Structures are given as C-alpha cells and as structure tokens.
Amino acid sequence: MIMVSTKIQFTFTTSLIVDMKKVIIFGISDFASLAHYYLQRDSEFEVVGFAADKNYLPASGLFEGLPVLDFQNIENELFPSDFYFFAPMSPQKMNISRKQVYERIIAKGYKTISYISSKATVFQREKIGSNCFILANNTIQPFVDIRNNVILWSGNHIGHHSVIHNHTFLTSHVVLSGHCEIMERAYLGVNCSIKDGLTIGEGSFVAMGAVVAASTPSDSIIQGNPGVLSKVPASRFFK
C-alpha cells in the first residue's frame, strides 16, 4: 500500500499487479479517458491514477473512478522511481501545449511509457520513442524512426526509412511515403498524402485531404489537391 498526503490510497492486491508498471495519466480530457481504456485492456501497464494542474482538478477528486492528483508537487508524493507517466494530449497551439507538458514531466524525473496498439503493424518497435500513442491499424514499415511524444491516430501508413520528429500529431488515414521527414510539432490532417522523399517543416499544418508534392518550410499551412502553401503562417492561424 502506498499512502499519499492527499489521503488517497493506491492498493495492489495481487502479485501480478504489483509486478506491472504503475502509470499515472496526465489530464482528464477525452484523450486521457481513451488512454485509460486502451492501457487497461491492451497493455502490460496498470493505470493507478491521473494528474492535472491545480486549476483543473475535479471537485470529486476522481476521474474514471481513479484519484486525480495535483501535478505541481506530485513527485513529492509518488516517487519517480516507482511510477511512470503517460501524457496523451490534443494538438492545441500546434502541439506546443503537448511539448510543454512532456518536458515538465521529464523535468520532474519521471520516465514515460508508450502505448502501441496490438492491432498496429510495427516492424521495429525499438525505433519508437517515449510517450508515443499509436492506435489500431497503423502500418509502420521497416526502418521508420519515430521520436518522442508522437501521436499516430488510427489507420495511417508510415513509409519505410521515414523519420517522425518529436511532438508531432498524425490524425487518421495519413499516407506517408518512403524517406519522408516530419519535423517537430507538425500536424498532418485526415486523409492527407505526402510524396516520397519530402520534408514537412517544423510546426507545419497539413490540412485534411491535402496532397503534398513538394517539401514545405517551417510554420506553414498546406491545403488542397495539389497542395498549396497558405500566405498565413500556422503559428498565427492557430495561436
């Protein structure tokens, strides 16, 4: 039994649960709810609670039937040596919020887990970084390098020898051809297609259904078929 100052108790009743990695999920949004669902049913991890910033703590102190702790001082109650974190978050402000939360977790000394659906096709799991959220029906071909804090929603194709950098978000049914490079904080919308060998610039937004046939600069918006660069930078549009 682990006692915390908030009078919340985490009790592990079987040796099986004790041996599992104990995970705290950051947030109390739909993303956190989905993460809890997947981790409980399709992983080797045991979710034991949630964490949120003080202003977002629920009055009940609970989310999905589990305790929600104040993230500000959580390392003083749940030691980083005993718990892991998972922070699946929406791509607000072109993934800046996701990046900041991930960096705050690491700064507190916690390690983060990654969730890879058992229904995803992944040839080299060792090339997937930390705090990644990879859902069902993704096909990740050989020699793909996925860095940290990456979300691949359901049903994407990630072509061979591609690199997906930190804090990026791919929605659903994205087709990424071989030898592509997706730079940090990029967002790829539903049903977009990226030609082989291209680079999508840092902090760029590829709109739903866009067909991208040329590399893009940082902070850009690409939309349409064929893809056209917007005159408005992504950082201004999504601030």
The pLDDT tens digits of the residues spanning 167-215 come to: 999 999 999 999 999 999 999 999 999 999 999 999 999 999 999 999 9
At 7-34, the pLDDT tens digits run: 445 443 333 444 689 999 999 999 999 9
Classify residue 225 by its DSSP letter: T
Residue with tokens 């959580």: 74
34/72 Cα distance (integer angstroms) = 23
Looking at this protein, which amino acid is placed at residue 28? I
Domains of the chain: 2-112 (3.40.50.20), 115-225 (2.160.10.10)
Q: What is the mean pLDDT of the chain?
A: 93
* Residue 19 confidence (pLDDT): 66
The residue among 190, 100, 96, 105 whose CA lies nearest residue 152 is 190
Whether 183 contacts 199, CB under 8 Å:
yes
Please tell me whether the overall predicted TM-score, pTM, comes out greater than 0.75 for this model.
yes
